[in-house]
Amino acid sequence: MFKKSVKRISMALLMLFTITKAQTEDSLTNNERAQKIAEKARPAIMAAAYVKQQIAKIRNPQLRRLTEELITNPAPTYQAKAPLQKEREQVLSELRSAGLITAEVSLEGIYIPVKDPTKAAQSFLAAPGSYYRSAKSLAGHHSYPGGLAVHTAYNLRAGLSMIENYKRQYPLDTSGSGFSVDPDLVICGIVLHDIMKTLVFQWKKDGSLYEEQQIAGTGAHHILGIAEMYVRGFPAEAVIAMASAHDPTAPSPLRKKVVSYLRAAAIIARVDPVSYGTLKAKDDELDIASEARPEHFIVHLSDADYHYSGHAAAATVGILRELAKTELGWSDEALDGERFNWLRNQLLASHTEIGLYQLYLKKGSKALLRLISSK
């Protein structure tokens, strides 16, 4: 029933909503180029396999099936909930009236152009883990083909290790108190916390990425991922756990941020978050329909690899660019465009930013020069 209704609405979407054709077709071609790189990148292949292994360990059959389906086909089916232009403009108006977006946010920032909302813009394997504009500007962590899989796998290892560490440090005592956690929620929350980066961070011809807009004060990918979970019918507790990735749910201003994430996503998904069970009315305001649970904190705390990986990427790419200029004589045009960007993407996909940075720390810049020279 769900798949049939999505297909019917998506036909209306294709006929009645004008997408940015040039961007869509350009992204398709370049997403395929990134896919080919990721398919040959051992770090991405191993990471994706590990993620799938952990999904298979989810005990709840419904949650396991939903998680597998979304990671296999991260399609933006939420877009079919508002197939008409006027319906999307209504969503935009509601978000602005609620103070959840600024005036600069556009329809395309929420409804990223796609040809078919029942199909993923790019695969989980090919997607990057963050933004990338050029070698001269700042870049995010894992911003290369396969980066999302590598980032997700590391977070999963960190989160699952955290569960074991908590259990060792706070074991159950004779009264039955102690540490207790639902690993299903941890696995699901971590696996899906960045799933809509497959949509917002699509590849340009020059090897950089389309830019992401902000919703509810955070990257659009987070809100759109929550919206997709609403639309696909994930259990409320799983939606809350995933929403906690960017901020914890402990009573504080940060808890209110999670409320805004859940609320904004519900507006986009066209669902009532109170009826769904993610939010509740409290003192004339909305609050999360759950106490602050350990699963929320683990999902949040596991998402910290970007501190080191982001530094490693920036440092390594800077060195690679300088070597290409001084040792190989590359022109500024080559360094600031397609030639260097796709070389960068291939090297990072093959070795990861941390792998390259460790190589530099151990063997110096000459080791990186040999890698560039071999391409």
Asked if the model's pLDDT at residue 45 lies above 80, the reply is yes
Q: Are 246 and 300 in contact (CB under 8 A)?
A: yes
pLDDT score for 20: 52
- How far is Cα 210 from Cα 275, in angstroms, rounded to an integer? 35
CA angle 61, 62, 67 (to 5 degrees): 100
Q: Is the pLDDT of residue 344 over 90?
A: yes
Q: What is the pLDDT of residues 9-19, one digit of tens each?
A: 444 444 434 44
**Which pLDDT does position 303 carry in this prediction?**
94
Percent of the chain with pLDDT strictly greater than 90: 81
Tens-digit pLDDT profile for residues 87-127: 999 999 999 999 999 999 999 999 999 989 999 999 999 99
pLDDT bin (cut points 50, 70, 90) of residue 150 is very high
Q: What's the pLDDT band for 131 if we cut at 50, 70, 90? A: confident
What local confidence, expressed as pLDDT, does residue 140 receive? 78
pLDDT at 26: 61
